[in-house]
Amino acid sequence: MQFEWRTYTTQPGKAMTYLELYRTIGVSLVTKHLPMLGYWLSETGPLNEIHHLWAYSDFDDRTKRRAGLAQERDWHENFIRQAFEVITAQRSRILMLDRGSERFEAILAARDRVHSGRPQVEACLSTDLCVIAEGHEGERTTLMNPLASFRVALGKDVGRRIDLYENVSVNDWLAQAPGRHDGTETTLLRALTLSPIGGEV
């Protein structure tokens, strides 16, 4: 399988504007076509960043699914037109899975689920946190086992390892993290409540 990690940067203070539109309008449209694994807002590292993870059988599958989404009139008129006014940059990387877990395989098996939009009265963000740790082989920022480990195949930093951790206690993370990791970056992420990874679905 192939995975796509997308990162959108918003205008300062506008990330929640995008996320509210996504969870109320966008998610039901996009998940009719694209297999969503995770949707998060950054809490450390570069701020005002929205991260999302998608799974495809291969690149042709990605192309076909995205073409289907592009035909959705409501996607363009009711979501893109409003939501992308606050987006200043987009980044995409294609990943290959190096190692998963039983929990990750269960999420992957349900990837084609169509998610309903959420009413605004519900909480947008989960109370649980996730972490992505990016580095080189042999570098680990914690003794915890990742939910999944990937390798960048296309895009910036080809060959770089990305470890994804779910439901992280920051205090436990800091207590277990070894002292120094040259070249390794960690980003704390807060999931949308509708996110299969880290959310409350």
Displacement of CA 18 from its chain's centroid (Å): 15
How many residues are recorded in the chain?
201
Q: Side chain identity at 180, as an amino acid letter? A: R
Contact yes or no for 66/34 (Cβ under 8 A) = yes
pLDDT value, residue 142 = 57
CA distances from 21 to 118, 152, 155, 189 (A): 10, 29, 27, 19
pLDDT value, residue 182 = 56
DSSP codes, 49-98 = EEEEEEEESSHHHHHHHHHHHHT-HHIIIIIIHHHTTSEEEEEEEEEEEE
pLDDT value, residue 174 = 84
pLDDT value, residue 135 = 87
Main-chain dihedrals φ then ψ at residue 44, nearest 5 degrees: -135, 175
The conformation of residue 138, written as its DSSP 8-state character, comes to T
Please give the model's pTM, rounded to 2 decimal places. Answer: 0.93
On the 0-12 / 13-18 / 19+ scale of CB atoms within 10 A, 60 is exposed
Neighbours of 12 (CB within 10 A): 10
pLDDT value, residue 120 = 82
d(CA 100, CA 6): 19
Tens-of-pLDDT digits for all 201 residues of the chain?
A: 999 999 999 999 999 999 999 999 999 999 999 999 999 999 999 999 999 999 999 999 999 999 999 999 999 999 999 999 999 999 999 999 999 999 999 999 999 999 999 888 889 999 999 999 998 765 555 568 899 999 999 999 999 999 999 999 999 888 876 555 556 789 999 999 999 999 986
CA distances from 80 to 26, 57, 73, 76, 84 (A): 8, 26, 10, 5, 5
Contact yes or no for 28/21 (Cβ under 8 A) = no
pLDDT value, residue 119 = 87
d(CA 133, CA 126): 20
